[in-house]
Amino acid sequence: MENDETIVKSEGDVPAVPRRELAGASGASAGRYELRDRLGSGGMGIVSTAFDRQLRREVAIKVLRPELLGEGLTREQFTEEAVVLAGLDHPGAVPVYETGTLEDGSPFCAMKKVRGATLRDVLFERNADSLSSREDLAHLVDVFERVCQTVAAAHDRGIVHRDLKPDNVMVDDLGAVYVMDWGLAYSVRSASGGSHVSAPVPGEIAGTPSYMAPEQARGRAQEIGPRSDVFALGTILYEILTGKNPFREGTGQESLKAVQELDPPPAVRVNPRAGRALSAVCRKAMSKEVSRRYATARELADEIRRYREFRPVAAAPPTLYERVANWARRRPAVAASLVTLLAALLLVGVARGYRAFTQRQLVERALAIVESGSAEVLEIDARLVDARRAAASAPEGPGGDDLRARADALAELRAVRKDQVRTYALAVLVFTLDRPDPRARAIYRLELREAIGEALRDGHPTRAAAMAEEAIAEASRRNVPGWTAADVSWFEARRDEARSLERAR
């Protein structure tokens, strides 16, 4: 049994039948299709290129392996894979064109031919410089997010893949990402008239040893679900971040043991370029305890999206320094202005040689900007009330649309200004880290609490929970903002409220 070979066996079974060539594949015909070169094979099928005589195009044809033709259950599983794939209707799922039977009685599935490379090939071509390259890592994290989004679409429909690995991810020549080989996929929902021939049974071990979740490796059918796919996705992310799969041991049996018992070191320890946030996301996805992982690939995809947008991830609330750095990446123009302002003030002080031009004066100037921003927010609030009242009473049509667009623009401007006020206050706190300025503390504390409340009211519980977790974590560290026990209790209550809203979705 190979580490990266998909297996399907029950207790006491021997490994799957070794791969062999499709007899008579070249030149075979299904009437409309002419089979040509072989592309690869899996546990149930052999994939070849084919020429579609009717539409005069190249397609991919997956044909059931010859030695499995006499197994009725396997034929049903083969057909069910095509049904699952056709039902996903997602850009990351390969379009299915047709199913049918070849002249020799072999069932087949015709689908889009993806021209590109597998994620395994992409990872294999990396070297030490690629692992330490921020650009290469960003590209692969983008690919990974799209894999998560495709699997999330499947989870939304109650479909579990069960065999996620780099070999089953294709990146085509135009950069599109596809999740392949849904032969082990099954539905966790009991749909009327639906087929469930691929559903796991107690004792069955199905998947790829070095990417299986622990419950898969133990054959615990009742525990297998979307979180099992999340474990496999976490393993893929670990491989992207570190260049190696932590569970790929000498043999498949040793890998099955490793996924159940081995607790790999954090990715950031293996490759510092991985960063604390991504390493924490990876660790949560790969938790041995099913309940501690992300519930679905949707949650994992959201975490990766927040990371790529330089926002806090739930798996690792950022430190004060990370919050400032991430904000600067999200708002480079404002950050540059702030740095320029502080630098200019400092240079003026040095040039003039005034001893009185100290840190206190720098802080006073920065706080004046904060207070000016707060006053502007109050002015925008007054205009926003009038704009919303006018938009609410406006009739349908171009005039009403203009009023509503004006109200939306004011609301967006208010959000930007509030973010700037909070961030400037945070910058002053960082500037006065040894003796935090009390006015900056008060402004930042007020703005953060308001931001959490607004996130809950506006239907963004994930963001509210992340900000609350961030404040709780800061209170247990250096506590620069000066949170009190009552503040922490308030944040815990808002965090619990946000999590309840997330679960209710």
Instruction: Report how far residue 290's alpha carbon sits from residue 472's, in angstroms, rounded to the nearest whole number.
Output: 25
State both tokens at 173: 């020549």
In the prediction, which pLDDT does 346 show?
64
Give the position of tokens 């400032």: 324
Catalytic-labelled residue, pool 89, 129, 136, 163: 163
Residues constituting the chain: 505
In the prediction, which pLDDT does 362 show?
66
Instruction: Report how far residue 259's alpha carbon sits from residue 262's, in angstroms, rounded to the nearest whole number.
Output: 6
Q: Which residues of the chain have pLDDT under 50?
A: 12-29, 191-195, 353-357
> Which of the 8 DSSP states describes residue 48?
E
Contacts 24+ apart (CB under 8 A), 477-480: 477/319, 478/320, 480/320, 480/429, 480/430, 480/433, 480/436, 480/441
Q: In 3D, which of 135, 180, 168 has the Cα closest to residue 235?
A: 168
Q: CATH: 1.10.287.110, 2.60.120.10, 3.40.50.720, 1.10.510.10. Which one for 116-308?
A: 1.10.510.10
In the prediction, which pLDDT does 23 show?
36
Catalytic residue at 437? Answer: no
Distance set, CA 198 to CA 195, 221, 483 (Å): 8, 12, 53
- Judged on CB neighbours under 10 Å (0-12, 13-18, 19+), 504 is exposed
**CATH 3.60.15.10 fits domain 24-111:** no
Distance set, CA 493 to CA 464, 471, 472, 476, 498 (Å): 11, 12, 11, 17, 9
Backbone conformation region of residue 52, classed left if phi is above 0, alpha if psi is from -120 to 50, else beta: beta
Evaluate whether 57 touches 120 at the Cβ level (below 8 Å): no
Which DSSP string corresponds to 326-375?
Answer: HHHHH-HHHHHHHHHHHHHHHHHHHHHT-TT--HHHHHHHHHHHHHHHHH
Domain spans of the chain?
A: 24-111, 116-308, 320-504
Q: In 3D, which of 465, 476, 472 has the Cα closest to residue 502?
A: 465
In the prediction, which pLDDT does 354 show?
44
